[in-house]
Structure 1
Amino acid sequence: MSKRVTFSARPPSAAPTDSASTVADQAAIDAWVNNEMLAVAEPVKRFTFEVPLSLHKRIKMQCAAQDRQMADVLRELLDKHFPAE
């Protein structure tokens, strides 16, 4: 008894029901995979600074308890302290 197994370059795809939504879904997936923000109002700038380990742990624990990203919380705090004129 012999079994025959074949491999192809790409698996067969299901026929899309709505091509417009499929293209939009694919764009969103590509943006997520590439770690891109979909709607950025203005260019961003990375900024790095050092904090004591104990402060980092407190921030990290509170953010985890609230199911929030540290960067989002810190951006909110900075925006409150330095409001746009």
Structure 2
Amino acid sequence: MSTKKISIGSKPTAKPVQPSADEWVEHRGNGNGPEPMKRLTIDIPESLHRTIKAQCAMRGTKIADEVRELLLQKYVKS
């Protein structure tokens, strides 16, 4: 039976330290890209949802876009 010899190379040189996962998550949005989004969930009556959905369908818009615009008008002062 023959034995197979494997040579082990020299120890790798120091590599740049990778940031921890928490650090990456905390700083990943700090670029010149768009602002990160957050999800908002609300409960509304079924009849109101049906009305909003029908109006948005007639205008060809999305409910999320309409609600986002209303929130911007109310809370973001120009």
TM range (shorter): 0.5 to 0.7
Q: Which runs of 5+ in 1 are unaligned?
A: 1-39
Is the radius of gyration larger for structure 1 or structure 2?
Answer: 2
Query: Any runs of at least 4 consecutive aligned residues in structure 1 with deviations exceeding 2 A, and if so which?
Result: none
Residue segments in structure 2 that go unaligned for 5+ positions in a row: 1-32
Give distance in 1, aligned partners of 2:50 and 2:44: 10
CA–CA separation in structure 2 for the residues paired with 1:58 and 1:46: 22
TM normalised by structure 2 equals 0.55
The one of 33, 49, 63 aligned to 1:70? 63
Distance 1:71 1:49 in 2: 12
Whole-angstrom CA distance in 2 between matches of 1:80 and 1:59:
18
Amino acid at match of 1:72: D
Distance 1:57 1:82 in 2: 25
Overall identity of the aligned pairs, in %: 43
Q: CA deviation at 1:41?
A: 1.4
